[in-house]
Chains A and B, each alone.
Chain A
């Protein structure tokens, strides 16, 4: 026996990075037409994509897959399948209708299970961007999402736009959705703040969930807020 034999190939089958699903939930309700909120949302997400791509490139151990959904009178995926972040392009959405957030959450719950998500995936990220209260059965949708293990494991974050989204009723909805005392909604009251928050949420969230550290079952896993709270943004009220 000798250790000078030419090394055989590394043991095991083909390797792959762990999938990381990032889902944008974009509010396309009629109120988003007011004061240019929908344009600001489109611009902010489009602007955030290159930053997401940079973060993804820096971590070859996660294969970031992005999907987006618009919700208004109905909730609908903007693309059939998740796209690798390197190929993801934001398609502008238009505003009109009511706020079917409950339906949106239910649709997300439908894809957070096998065969749509591999059992070796990293925690998904669900980023909700909205300016107000749901008009359908939010709790039914949330219960459906949370009935799925991947829904419970997801990092759920909110970017709240304008004063309606700062109301106690809306904040309560967001608190229940996020279900993590250390994660508060990011409040954006003008286009610059929206850009900053969306960029922060998309990149910090990706970094947070793509680390291989384990989380004790049942514990609150994520803590990206401390740094987020320290972010300096223009706080002038436009919305």
Chain B
């Protein structure tokens, strides 16, 4: 039986980073389902890109890598008829802590292979942190790799959403109505964000498990904050979701796939100047017979 979901992604270096010579600090990873039994997995991460987070391109790549691995495990463990109440409980109580621990482990492994040099800390008054074997590294280590994370998993029984820090998850209904499946705990101002490297990361994590029986979106969009910051208000940004669904229906998934990176580059140029990454989950049955 063919898969009922497909996925599209793109990640572009922002106009600002092109001019300053900085790498794209974002990362996006997908696991497309091959059969209807497989889950669709999407993870998007935004490396902070600030002076202190000088390895955040690595940090975001590690974040999406860990997220996809843990999502896969989570979906497998909860596939065989576990009650949704247990799925929800594990999603909220266990998954965020596991993800933060996995990311920190990945950072330590990366650092062991690529130790800091004095040049990395030349701009700061403090010396490079001292890393001792078998001891938790100081916060400056994780800050160097600082990144956010948003993730989604679509299974036959539930849709899992998770978010730590800025970025947006939008769902688009069959009628084009756009909404946020996760309501923000609090607003971040200016360029402030929660992060995988934050002391309070676990407290800031938001997770939701939505049962499929209450309805499935036609489109799920995960994006780094560089996209929403291109628009003057939420209305302009929400139109992206509705427009993409229209284009998917009118022109098909291949067309959107082929144009997405260009749209993001133009948006960065005319809007925020930031890197932009987008992961789309597309329910093929919602597109109509021609598009699929």
Query: A residues bordering B, Cβ < 8 Å?
Result: 1-3, 5, 7-8, 10-18, 59-61, 118-124, 149-150, 152-153, 182, 209, 211-219, 221, 223, 226
Cβ of B89 under 8 Å from chain A = no
Q: Within B254-292, which residues are at the interface with A (CB < 8 Å)?
A: 254-255, 258-259, 262-263, 266-267, 270-275, 290-291
Shortest CB–CB separation between residue A215 and chain B, in angstroms?
5
Q: Is the CB of B193 within 8 A of A212?
A: no
Q: Is the CB of A216 within 8 A of B195?
A: yes
How many A-B contacts at CB < 8 Å in the complex? Answer: 166
For B273, list chain A residues within 8 Å (CB): 59-61, 212
From A16, which residue of chain B is reached at the shortest CB distance? B232
Q: Is the CB of A14 within 8 A of B240?
A: no
Q: Is the CB of A219 within 8 A of B52?
A: yes
Q: Is the CB of A216 within 8 A of B198?
A: yes
Bound-state Cα–Cα, A16 to B237, Å: 11
**Other-chain residue from A3, A8, A121 in contact with B190 (beta carbon distance below 8 A):** A121
How many chain B residues sit at the interface, stated as a range, is 35 or more
Bound-state Cα–Cα, A121 to B229, Å: 9
Bound-state Cα–Cα, A216 to B92, Å: 23
Most buried by B among A13, A16, A60: A13
Q: Is the CB of A1 within 8 A of B255?
A: yes
Q: Is the CB of B231 within 8 A of A216?
A: no
**Other-chain residue from B16, B143, B251 in contact with A5 (beta carbon distance below 8 A):** B251
Q: Within B189-238, which residues are at the interface with A (CB < 8 Å)?
A: 189-195, 197-199, 225-226, 228-233, 235-238
Shortest CB–CB separation between residue A152 and chain B, in angstroms?
8
- A-B pairs with beta carbons under 8 Å apart, 28 shown: A1-B251, A1-B290, A8-B251, A11-B247, A11-B263, A12-B236, A13-B232, A13-B239, A15-B271, A16-B231, A17-B271, A59-B16, A120-B229, A149-B187, A150-B189, A150-B190, A153-B192, A182-B125, A211-B20, A211-B50, A212-B49, A212-B229, A213-B50, A214-B48, A214-B165, A215-B192, A217-B192, A221-B50
Cβ of B101 under 8 Å from chain A = no
For B187, list chain A residues within 8 Å (CB): 119, 149
Bound-state Cα–Cα, A203 to B219, Å: 43
Cβ of B96 under 8 Å from chain A = no
**Other-chain residue from B244, B250, B255 in contact with A11 (beta carbon distance below 8 A):** B244
Shortest CB–CB separation between residue A18 and chain B, in angstroms?
6
For A15, list chain B residues within 8 Å (CB): 230-232, 236, 267, 270-271
Nearest 8 interchain pairs by C-beta = A13-B236, A1-B252, A61-B273, A11-B243, A212-B274, A123-B190, A12-B240, A213-B49
Query: B residues bordering A, Cβ < 8 Å?
Result: 14-16, 20, 46, 48-53, 123, 125, 143, 146, 148, 165-166, 187-195, 197-199, 225-226, 228-233, 235-240, 243-244, 247, 250-255, 258-259, 262-263, 266-267, 270-275, 290-291
For A118, list chain B residues within 8 Å (CB): 232-233
From B46, which residue of chain A is reached at the shortest CB distance? A214
Most buried by A among B52, B225, B226: B52
Shortest CB–CB separation between residue A126 and chain B, in angstroms?
13
Shortest CB–CB separation between residue A202 and chain B, in angstroms?
19
For A218, list chain B residues within 8 Å (CB): 198-199
Known contacts A18-B272, A212-B14; is A217 also within 8 Å of B193 by CB? Answer: yes
Shortest CB–CB separation between residue A183 and chain B, in angstroms?
12
Bound-state Cα–Cα, A153 to B188, Å: 10
**Other-chain residue from B16, B192, B237, B247 in contact with A61 (beta carbon distance below 8 A):** B16
Shortest CB–CB separation between residue B207 and chain A, in angstroms?
19
Known contacts A212-B229, A216-B198, A221-B50; is A13 also within 8 Å of B16 by CB? Answer: no
Bound-state Cα–Cα, A7 to B243, Å: 13
Q: Is the CB of B235 within 8 A of A13?
A: yes
For B52, list chain A residues within 8 Å (CB): 219
